[in-house]
Chain A
């Protein structure tokens, strides 16, 4: 499994865009990048997954440069309810053994 590095914590304010960058220098050709969100007292929730370029859904956007050695999760116009831990994972599409790491704690303030 490719090792990932992401900031331990980030602070933001309501209405701002939050960008979390994850480094994965050893990503393999067939690896995908997946992000999960975890609220206190809940299990992680799948947010978005991508292989290259840009992926967007109703929750977030995922930007992946051509070399794929990093990726950026973008949360548009955050609200207080976006306060959570965000995990970046790199693995094969069918790899069932997820490696979460410590994640990035995002705190949104009023």
Chain B
């Protein structure tokens, strides 16, 4: 597609519920990233994939967060047993090997109530 697509755009979850957030990167982009953006803050790194390999997950805040990219294209960020502090915008970005900068999606706004 022309850009990075994320779904859903908005998600309201009850505390304790599991959620799955989807990212469709730009076709052919090898690298994929997930970032978390709290209200009024800049995005913060969560995890990085190169093709299907998760090369860095150092930014995942707890073991309730899990990301996968099984076929090297679409990625899913899963959050188990959601807590109120998980409320944020989750951004996905992708990049080609030879490009400057990343292309971000519009994000999924997660609200845990």
Contact = CB atoms under 8 A, between A and B. Distances in A.
A110 B107 CA distance: 29
Contacts of B106: 41-43
A63 interface: no
Given A43-B93, A96-B56, A101-B42, A36 B101 contact: yes
B102 A102 contact: no
B43 A100 contact: yes
A46 B42 contact: no
A98 B43 contact: yes
A45 interface: yes
Interface residues of A, number: 19
Interface residues of B, number: 24
A99 B59 CA distance: 12
Interface string A70-100: 0000000000000001010000000011111
Contacts of A96: 31, 33, 48, 56
A98 B35 CA distance: 9
A43 B91 contact: yes
Interface of A: 34, 36, 41-46, 49, 85, 87, 96-103
Given A43-B93, A49-B100, 16 more contacts: A42-B104, A42-B106, A42-B107, A43-B4, A43-B92, A43-B104, A43-B105, A43-B107, A44-B43, A46-B100, A46-B101, A46-B103, A98-B35, A101-B42, A102-B42, A103-B42
Interface of B: 4, 31, 33, 35, 40-45, 48, 56, 59, 91-93, 100-107
